Structure 1
């Protein structure tokens, strides 16, 4: 037991000491403990929230949802712009781009938008809390919890160790998708009268799937090619993208193809 505790302590110290020194002082970055705490609170909320709300009326969050979703559209658009423009100005390669660990203006600009992308994943945990407060418990699927709960760890590691480089491509693709996704949710929050304009929900799921296929191909190439970017990070992203392809494909089948077959 003492040996195990010593190994854990040694590993924890390694985690602290081997990060990107530029980002160590930024909010939630230096140690994994705060993000682990947030994750535990997130799981506890999913367990306790529906029980607390069981005998209560759903909370009317119309104004909050409108403000939140359109704010997320704005934040996603800002991050998309920063990822794209910074990569363009720094002459990033799509096929192999090492991390610029310097304190140059463009290096720091990329690191900062990586942090914002990570922090946006923390903010997006609010999606789950809104479902609980509105008693939309059917939305608390494994896919939803898995995706939201793991993204905060993936991008904590991204900001801690690889704030830039190949990571930028994930940011560009995902923020573009999220501009469209939160626009959809924002319009839906305006009320039932908007439903006739929201026929494209199915295509939003298709866009999310395309995103994961693109990231799988991109990361797979980078993993097997000679490139000065950590293979461990590429391996994690590759495995994660494949897992999301399976989960989102199942979601698409159950909600669109499966329902269509039953009607037929």
Structure 2
């Protein structure tokens, strides 16, 4: 029996080793097509480091954080929120500029724009901007962490956490394989929208005396709808352009799916808020729609509670 047990253990170890070897071979074959320029950049060596960060983020905001805060007083993060939101505005403005200067305002056709894998200054600048956009998604995870620390757990929805998790995860593959071209248009648009959205959040965090500067609040949802219409329309060109040899079409499908899903989700909220919601008192309409569109759908921290 002892010998049989040893043989079983030995066989199990061999099977595990074979699985590891197979996985290593599959990964090696997969990664050989990656962009050599981004191989040594921070978090780019493999998808494992970011997977661990994302897993830790999900665990903290959905389980550990709420349990830690359960019997504690909510943190007053007004000063932190002001600095954070306006810092994200500045970062988003910088990324807008870099996207424009590295392609979207200096030669891209807005049609079948391929990825430039050369070492030219402009191609390298585009790749670096894509990495910065990818890294900014980890910074934006603070949105949810601030919710937890302020005991605003009702705003930590599945959709919110999903958005903040899936964006950096998919963008790792984008930076590693396709840092440029038509697949980056949605990132440029998203940076533009974030300049507007985080400006609103920053002004809101400043307190009630800044309410007079927030007259444009009602246009936030419209801006997001326009964003997803533009993203979906632009990326869908690929399916109608003849001989568009975009190097990694898988990203076209991912972006198109993402744009359509969020467009329909926005339209659904729009319908419930502005059609069915019209039967509600105006205050309730505004509160419901603001919470869903600004806090949930965009995946960003809605600071309306500071108003």
- The TM-score, its normalising length taken from structure 2, stands at 0.80
Does 1:244 pair with 2:259?
Answer: no
What is the match of residue 207 of structure 2? 191
Q: 1:99 aligns with which of 100, 115, 140?
A: 115
Secondary structure (helix, strand or coil) at the match of 1:200 reads helix
Native 8 Å contact 1:99 1:162 kept in 2: yes
Secondary structure (helix, strand or coil) at the match of 2:113 reads coil
Q: Distance in 1 between matches of 2:222 and 2:50?
A: 30
Does 1:203 pair with 2:225?
Answer: no
Native 8 Å contact 1:170 1:215 kept in 2: yes
Unmatched segments (≥5 aa) in structure 1: none
Does 1:11 pair with 2:57?
Answer: no
Residues 158 and 180 of structure 1: is their aligned pair in 2 closer, same or farther, counting only changes over 3 Å? same
Secondary structure (helix, strand or coil) at the match of 2:37 reads coil
Q: 2:60 aligns with which of 37, 40, 45?
A: 45
Native 8 Å contact 1:143 1:248 kept in 2: no
Native 8 Å contact 1:16 1:30 kept in 2: no
Native 8 Å contact 1:111 1:163 kept in 2: yes
What is the match of residue 76 of structure 2? 60
Does 1:155 pair with 2:155?
Answer: no
What is the match of residue 12 of structure 2? none
Does 1:228 pair with 2:245?
Answer: yes
Unmatched segments (≥5 aa) in structure 2: 1-14, 283-307
Residues 252 and 141 of structure 1: is their aligned pair in 2 closer, same or farther, counting only changes over 3 Å? farther
Native 8 Å contact 1:223 1:231 kept in 2: no
Secondary structure (helix, strand or coil) at the match of 1:22 reads helix
Length, aligned pairs only:
264
Native 8 Å contact 2:69 2:151 kept in 1: yes
Native 8 Å contact 1:173 1:211 kept in 2: yes
Residues 236 and 4 of structure 1: is their aligned pair in 2 closer, same or farther, counting only changes over 3 Å? farther
Please list the CA deviations of residues 48-77 of structure 1 after superposition, one character each: whole Å capped at 9, or x if unmatched.
211211111110111111011101110000
Q: 2:125 aligns with which of 105, 109, 131?
A: 109
| CA deviation after TM superposition for structure 1 residue 205, in Å | 1.8
What is the match of residue 151 of structure 2? 135
Please list the CA deviations of residues 222-251 of structure 1 after superposition, one character each: whole Å capped at 9, or x if unmatched.
244231212111011111111111233334
Native 8 Å contact 2:100 2:106 kept in 1: no
Secondary structure (helix, strand or coil) at the match of 1:100 reads coil
Secondary structure (helix, strand or coil) at the match of 1:26 reads coil
| CA deviation after TM superposition for structure 1 residue 126, in Å | 0.6
Native 8 Å contact 1:70 1:183 kept in 2: yes
Please list the CA deviations of residues 108-153 of structure 1 after superposition, one character each: whole Å capped at 9, or x if unmatched.
0111111111111111011000111111112112221121111101
What is the match of residue 36 of structure 1? 51
Which one has a bigger Cα radius of gyration? Answer: 2
1:13-28 map, 5 Å: 13-28=28-43
Native 8 Å contact 2:183 2:251 kept in 1: no
